[in-house]
Amino acid sequence: DTAVSQTPKYLVTQMGNDKSIKCEQNLGHDTMYWYKQDSKKFLKIMFSYNNKELIINETVPNRFSPKSPDKAHLNLHINSLELGDSAVYFCASSQGGLSTGELFFGEGSRLTVL
């Protein structure tokens, strides 16, 4: 069983389109994250949710809207895609609280905007 799964793995789309990436974790964790990894491998946090509540929003353009229907799911919707949005997007989860806080990452969703 995959602990953190994201779909789709690859996404190719035109500028201006709207797209979504879905993420699910079966680890029973309270906290989920979205990270963006650029072409230079730099990983930057975008959002974090704890029990469906937004706790971290790293000044991401409001074209990006995360949604957490329950604590096992965190989806990312992107409106009006731009060339600079091309990257690999990673979902992650952690137990949080007094635990170690280790992040468990999904396999990534490679978004290419043409």
Partner 1 sequence: GESVGLHLPTLSVQEGDNSIINCAYSNSASDYFIWYKQESGKGPQFIIDIRSNMDKRQGQRVTVLLNKTVKHLSLQIAATQPGDSAVYFCAENRGTSGTYKYIFGTGTRLKVLA
Among 21, 32, 78, 92, binds partner 1 (CB under 8 A): 92
Our finding on whether 4 is near partner 1 (CB under 8 A) is yes
Residue 62 near partner 1 by CB under 8 A: no
- Binding mask 22-61 toward partner 1 (x if CB under 8 A, else -) reads ---------x---x----xxxxxx--x-x----xx-----
**Cis? peptide before 8, omega within 30° of 0:** yes
CA–CA gap between residue 23 and residue 92 (Å, rounded): 9
Cα–Cα distance for residue pair 100/60, rounded to 1 Å: 27
Cα 7 to Cα 111: distance, rounded to the nearest angstrom: 11
Smaller CB distance to partner 1: residue 18 or 102?
102
